[in-house]
């Protein structure tokens, strides 16, 4: 696939001609509802095999080959140029696709209310084939060890039709928030633990689940070892039942990181006990905080680098958001929360408000500002083809096991095109 950034004067026709594609294919791939109203700075995925690169000042064939994981001899041959030739700025080079590596792809799904909404069902139908696991969020633990299940409806059937395994997500959510007190009861009261594990095994085996995934957050720091012991106990029970165990980990950058979000999450222990872990590498920019990238690549990289000192790469799944936020400026702590938006909604906002999209090179994330009808200035940070490609590059560079998305239901067509173009998705059933 090719990523093209819309510049002033670009049209769908001119972009298609540049890459030897068709306008119809570009419109369909990017789900463009207004193809004649492109936004300057908008990232488009061009559905071609391989990609083109336009030579920049200072480039050499060797440097370009290194960047794309090939050899300068191969580039010279396929582009019918001399391997030692000086490259003129602006020369278009064809870059062949690199071999695909197998990874695990996971997507959380969070049904709200008593039934699964039709749009959410459609999202699962559209993307299940691209997933190893569909993670049902969430089975909420009660103080007696019983479980409150989310609505499932026909999600299990849809997943099964695409050989997508089910992941049972267990949380210490209570009254809409993660509860330290509930977590402490689960991790320290043996009778509650025993009841919970019985219920998890019964629910998972009867419901056709493949993995049980613990997303216990805001645990008391003093419950760190109790959590490790609980996971060891759970792992023994699950293995006997033919189930795998995974956990969600807060985005730590050191073993001494303080704060109730981090301290009870022991990377080394989880790496030893769990079959795999999901790093929750998002929410630097969050709804109650100041505007910034949700998953800036420089911060994500720090978490991955630390995790690799505690566990092997083949146990690490990179967490990735499928959303951005729209903040009202000036930001005031304790003020109104930012509004969550999908990547497609963000581009629509930019188009409707005649805003150009900028790109933060350090964070590897797109953003823009606009003035709303009420005269207030807004700042939007979101994901696009470039930002998700940066995460895919990190997965490839560090040889991580895969990616996990929070969450299905928000439109981001470029992500799915790039995912399946660059990786083969492992199926475990």
Residue 132 and residue 105 in contact, taking contact as beta carbons nearer than 8 Å: yes
Task: Work out the end-to-end distance of the chain between its first and last CA atoms, rounded to an integer number of angstroms.
Answer: 29
The Cα–Cα gap between 391 and 384 comes to 11
Token duo for residue 38: 């492109």
Runs of H (alpha helix) within 42-90: 61-67, 72-79
Query: Per the structure block, which two tokens stand in for 284?
Result: 């630097």
Region of 363 (left: φ > 0; alpha: ψ -120 to 50; beta: rest) is alpha
Active site residue 31: no
- Cis omega before residue 330 (within 30°)? yes
User: Of these residues, 217, 263, 379, 383, which one is catalytic?
Assistant: 217
The whole-angstrom distance between residue 158's C-alpha and the CA centroid of its chain comes to: 21
Tokens of 32: 């463009």
| Cα 145 from chain centre | 31
CA–CA separation, 191 and 201 (whole Å): 16
Nearest to 150 by CA among 170, 166, 136, 135: 136
> In whole angstroms, what is the distance from residue 291 CA to residue 250 CA?
21
What's the token pair of residue 218? Answer: 């805001």
The b-or-e profile of 318-345 (16+ CB within 10 A means b, else e) is bbbbbbbbbbbeeeeeeeeebebbbbbb
How many Å separate Cα 272 from the centre of its chain?
24
Q: What share of the chain is helix, strand, coil (3-state, %, to 5)?
A: 35, 25, 40
Residue-level length of the chain:
429
Residues carrying an active site annotation: 217
């Amino acid at each position: 696939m090719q990523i093209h950034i819309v510049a002033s004067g670009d049209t769908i026709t001119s972009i298609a001609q540049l890459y030897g594609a068709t306008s119809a294919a570009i419109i369909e791939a990017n789900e463009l509802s207004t193809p004649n109203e492109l936004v300057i700075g908008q990232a488009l995925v061009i559905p071609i095999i391989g990609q083109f690169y336009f030579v920049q000042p200072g480039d050499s064939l060797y440097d370009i080959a290194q960047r794309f994981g090939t050899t300068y001899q191969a580039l010279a041959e396929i582009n019918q140029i001399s391997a030692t030739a000086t490259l003129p700025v602006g020369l278009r080079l064809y870059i062949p696709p690199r071999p695909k590596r197998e990874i695990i792809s996971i997507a959380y799904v969070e049904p709200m209310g008593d039934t699964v909404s039709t749009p959410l069902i459609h999202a699962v139908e559209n993307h299940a084939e691209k997933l190893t696991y569909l993670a049902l969020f969430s089975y909420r633990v009660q103080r007696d060890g019983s479980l409150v299940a989310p609505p499932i409806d026909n999600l299990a059937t849809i997943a099964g039709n695409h050989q997508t395994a089910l992941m049972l997500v267990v949380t210490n959510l209570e009254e809409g928030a993660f509860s330290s007190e509930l977590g402490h009861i689960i991790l320290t009261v043996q009778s509650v633990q025993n009841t919970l594990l019985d219920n998890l095994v019964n629910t998972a085996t009867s419901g056709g689940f493949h993995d049980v995934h613990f997303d216990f957050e805001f645990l008391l720091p003093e419950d760190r070892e109790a959590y490790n012991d609980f996971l060891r106990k759970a792992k023994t029970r699950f293995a006997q039942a033919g189930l795998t165990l995974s956990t969600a980990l807060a985005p730590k950058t050191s073993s001494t990181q303080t704060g109730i979000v981090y301290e009870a999450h022991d990377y080394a222990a989880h790496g030893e006990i769990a079959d795999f872990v999901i790093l929750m590498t998002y929410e630097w920019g969050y709804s109650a905080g100041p505007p910034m990238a949700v998953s800036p690549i420089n911060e994500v990289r720090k978490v991955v680098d630390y995790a690799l000192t505690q566990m092997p790469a083949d146990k690490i799944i990179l967490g990735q958001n499928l959303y951005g936020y729209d903040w009202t400026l000036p930001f005031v702590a304790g003020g109104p929360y930012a509004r969550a938006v999908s990547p497609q909604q963000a581009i629509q906002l930019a188009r409707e408000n005649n805003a150009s999209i900028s790109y933060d090179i350090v964070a590897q994330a797109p953003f823009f500002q606009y003035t709303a009808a009420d005269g207030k200035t807004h700042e939007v940070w979101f994901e696009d083809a470039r930002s998700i490609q940066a995460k895919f590059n990190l997965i490839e560079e560090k040889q991580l096991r895969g990616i996990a998305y929070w969450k299905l239901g928000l439109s981001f067509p470029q992500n799915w095109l790039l995912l399946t173009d660059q990786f083969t998705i492992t199926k475990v059933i």
